[in-house]
Amino acid sequence: MYRNFLKSFLDTQSLKAANKHSSKDLKYCNGLCQDLVAKTQFSSTKMICRSCMNTINLAKKQIEDQKITLEQFKKDPTIVYKNNNEEETKITIKKCNKF
């Protein structure tokens, strides 16, 4: 469940109210955004936008691989991208040193 990965989120009633009072083209993202986002950025029945879903999925993978902890992700969600960049850099350096 995505709510385990968030510091805060709207409950169901508040989320319904936020969406009810938004314009036709916008929907409230109850993920990391915590803001109104274009409806085209959501999968059919999801309450969080694709960008937030992708970030949470990266976090799940890195938590399973024990690269980060849930608490680290909650404190700084961008940590999932920082770890990826470091890993890519290490791989690139290893390849360059072989030549």
Work out the end-to-end distance of the chain between its first and last CA atoms, rounded to an integer number of angstroms: 45
How does residue 68 score in pLDDT terms, banded at 50, 70 and 90? very high
pTM for the whole thing?
0.76
pLDDT at 89: 52
How far apart, in Å, are the Cα atoms of 53 and each of 71, 72, 99? Answer: 18, 17, 39
Taking residues 69-98, what's their average pLDDT? 74
Residue indicated by tokens 């955004």: 33
Q: What is the mean pLDDT of residues 38-60?
A: 91
DSSP-assigned letter for residue 3: G
Domain ranges in the chain are: 2-98
